[in-house]
Amino acid sequence: MTSLLSLDAVSVRYGRLRALDDCTLSVASGERLALVGSNGSGKSTLLRTLHGLVEPAAGTVRLDAGARQAMLFQRPYMLRASALNNVALGLWLKGTPWRTAKVDALRALERVGLARQAGRNAKALSSGQQQRVALARAWALRPQVLLLDEPTSSLDPAAKRDVEQLMAEFAGAGMTLVFSSHNLGQVKRLASRVVYLEQGRLIADLPVGAFFGGPLPAAAASFLKGELV
């Protein structure tokens, strides 16, 4: 499998805080990579670095030329506009003419089951629906790589199931997923590979079966134990 994006000895600092420390990672096409770790371990920073939103203080970020990316944030921001226009704006910003963008946006909303909500003010939608609008906004860009920062952390079980199902469908269609999660059940269901981070350092990088079944470094094992309790 070809590598779509990679980090080579990347460190990121926020002032004096070292958010990522000497991380090396490669993501291959079609992979479903889960980032796990406690709060503040560097998962979000790693995603933002992969997406080009954060400049590393050291190391190199390599993105495959032409590999389109989109990112879904933990709490996606909706503009004071209809769901349709929220999706269309993303397309317009990437260079699609506005009228075409609206047609494509409606298709994307259909894809996530929200076509009937297209005309509603996105801010008036539920958290789960807003997350699906954000997924539609990301999916509409036809990304090869979709980065998701704790995409279901603030959702109720039903909405969580909907979003997970969409993620699985996107992955099934060949999209590469890189997501962070505290939900180990979700990681088991969706990921093909798991990376464990602690204090900005990459501690374990294993196939999902090995992560949950095999021997782990002590820190990762205790995290897993704690999470499963």
> How many DSSP H helices and E strands does the chain contain?
8, 9
Interface stretch with other proteins, choices 7-15, 78-86, 197-205, 208-216 (CB under 8 A): 78-86
What strands lie across the sheet with 3-14, from one edge to the other? Answer: 17-28, 3-14, 58-63
Taking the mean position of all CA atoms in its chain, how far away is CA 127? 17
Alpha helices in 12-126, H assignment, sequence order: 43-50, 83-93, 98-111
DSSP string computed for 71-90: EE-SS----SSBHHHHHHHH
Exposure string over 139-153, b if 16+ CB within 10 A, otherwise e:
bbbebbbbbbbbbbe
Q: Which is nearer to other proteins, 62 or 161 (CB)?
A: 62
Q: Which of 18, 26, 28, 73 binds other proteins (CB under 8 A)?
A: 73
Q: Which is nearer to other proteins, 132 or 137 (CB)?
A: 137
Q: Residue 195: CB partners within 8 Å, gap ≥ 6? A: 25, 33, 34, 35, 36, 202, 204, 205
Interface stretch with other proteins, choices 34-42, 85-93, 192-200, 201-209 (CB under 8 A): 85-93
Q: Is 43 in the site for other proteins (CB under 8 A)?
A: no
- The distance of closest approach from Cβ of residue 99 to other proteins in the complex, given in angstroms and rounded to an integer, is 7
Pattern 127-156, other proteins, x by CB under 8 A: ----------x-------------------
Interface stretch with other proteins, choices 34-42, 114-122, 180-188, 215-223 (CB under 8 A): 114-122
Q: State how far the Cα of 214 lies from the Cα of 94, in Å rounded to an integer.
A: 43
Q: Is 80 in the site for other proteins (CB under 8 A)?
A: yes
Question: Token pair for residue 56?
Answer: 């590393």
Q: Is 68 in the site for other proteins (CB under 8 A)?
A: yes
Interface stretch with other proteins, choices 81-89, 170-178, 198-206, 207-215 (CB under 8 A): 81-89
Interacting residue ranges for other proteins, rule: CB under 8 A: 48, 51-53, 63, 67-71, 73, 76-77, 79-82, 84-85, 88-90, 92-99, 101, 119-121, 137
